[in-house]
Structure 1
Amino acid sequence: MDFFAFQFRSPGPILFDVGPISLRWYGLLIASAVLIGVIIAQKLGKYRNIDPDLIGDLVIWLVIGAIPMARIYYVLFEWQNYAQHPQDIIAIWQGGIAIHGAIIGGIIAILIFAKINRQSFWELTDIIAPSLILGQAIGRWGNFFNSEAFGIPTNLPWKLYIPPNNRPIEYINFDYFHPTFLYESLWNIGVFILLIMIFFWSIKNNNKLKNGTIFLIYLISYSLGRVWIEGFRTDSLMLGFLRIAQVVSLTSIAFGIFGLIWLYILKKSLPDIKN
Structure 2
Amino acid sequence: MMGAVLSLLSIPSPDISKFSIGPLTIHIYALCLMAGMVFAWWLGSRRWKQRGGLAETFETIVLVAIPAGIIGARIYHVLTHWEDYFAPGRNPWSAFFIWEGGIAMFGSLIGGAIGAAVTARILGARLTAFADALAPGLIIAQAIGRLGNWFNQELFGGPDDGPLGLEIDPQFRPAEYTDVPTFQPTFLYELSWNLAGGLLLLAIDRKFKLGWGKLFALYGVVYGTGRFWIEGIRTDFSYYFGPLRTNQVTALLIALAGLAYFLVSSKLRPGREPWVERKGVGGPDHVEASES
Quote the offset at 1:201 in angstroms: 2.0
Deviations 1:167-186 (A, max 9, x none): 11111121111010110011
Aligned twin of 2:290: none
Q: 1:130 to 1:147 in 2, by over 3 A?
A: same
- State the alpha-carbon separation in 2 of the partners of residues 101 and 152 from structure 1: 25
CA contact (8 A) 1:75 1:82 kept: yes
Do structure 1's residue 66 and structure 2's residue 69 form an aligned pair?
A: yes
Residue equivalent to 2:139 = 133
Question: What are the Cα deviations for residues 90-131 of structure 1, in whole angstroms up to 9, with x where unaligned?
Answer: 454554221111110111111101111111111111011112
Partner residue in 2 for 1:8: 12
**2:245 alignment partner, one of 243, 246, 269:** 243
Greater CA deviation, 145-154 or 1-10?
A: 1-10
1:29 has 2:35 as partner? no
C-alpha deviation, 1:226, in angstroms: 0.8
**1:179-220: CA deviation from partner (whole Å, max 9, x where unpaired):** 101100110000110111122224xxxx4x231110000000
CA deviations on 1:24-51 (whole Å, 9 max, x unpaired) are 1011111111111111111111211011
Counterpart-to-counterpart distance in 2, 1:267 and 1:37 = 26
The one-letter code of the counterpart of 1:248 is: T
Q: How many angstroms does 1:236 deviate by?
A: 4.8
Residues 87-126 of structure 1 mapped to structure 2, 5 A cutoff: 88-126=94-132
CA RMSD of aligned residues (A): 2.2
Q: Structure 2 counterpart of 1:231, which letter? A: G
Q: What secondary structure sits across from 1:49 in the alignment?
A: coil
Between the aligned partners of 1:240 and 1:35, the Cα distance in structure 2 is 35
1:248 and 1:22 map into 2 onto residues whose CA distance is 33
Query: Is 2:238–2:245's contact at 8 Å kept on the other side of the alignment?
Result: yes
CA pair 261-182 structure 1, distance change in 2 beyond 3 A: same
Letter in 2 for 1:110: A
Superposition deviation, residue 153 in structure 1: 0.8
- CA deviation string 1:211-234 (max 9, x = no partner): 111000000011111111111101
Report the count of equivalent residues: 266
State the AA in 1 paired with 2:114: I
Partner in structure 2 of residue 77 of structure 1: 80
- Counterparts of 1:5 and 1:89 in 2: how far apart (Å)? 40
Alpha-carbon distance between aligned partners in 1 of 2:181 and 2:252, rounded to the nearest angstrom:
32
Alignment match, 2:282: none
Cα distance, 1:10–1:87 mapped onto 2, change above 3 Å: farther
Go from structure 1 to structure 2 and tell me whether the alpha carbon gap of 1:201 and 1:268 turns closer, same or farther (over 3 Å shift).
closer
Question: Partner of 2:158: helix, strand, or coil?
Answer: coil
Q: 56, 66, 69: which one pairs with 2:59?
A: 56
Residue 122 to residue 148, structure 1, CA distance change in 2 (3 Å): same
Q: Kindly tell me: are residues 4 and 72 of structure 1, through their superposed partners in 2, closer, same or farther at Cα, counting changes over 3 Å? A: farther
TM-score (norm 2): 0.84
8 A contact 1:25–1:145 mirrored in 2: yes
Map 1:145-224 → 2, pairs under 5 A: 145-202=151-208, 207=209, 209-224=210-225
Match of 2:254 in 1: 252
CA deviation vs aligned residue, 1:116-170 (integer Å, no higher than 9, x gap): 1111111111011112111110111111111111000110101111122211111
Q: Match for residue 283 of structure 2?
A: none
User: How far is the alpha carbon of 1:82 from its aligned partner?
Assistant: 2.3
Q: Aligned equivalents of 2:203 and 2:241: distance in 1?
A: 40
State the identity %.
Answer: 34
* Structure 1 runs of 4+ with >6 Å offset: none
Alpha-carbon offset, residue 240 of structure 1? 4.9
Structure 2 distance, partners of 1:47, 1:82, is 46
TM-score of the superposed pair, with normalisation by structure 1: 0.89
Gaps of 5+ in 1: none
The alignment status of 1:234 with 2:235, answered yes or no, reads: yes
Distance 2:197 2:8 in 1: 26
Q: Name the amino acid aligned to 1:162.
A: I
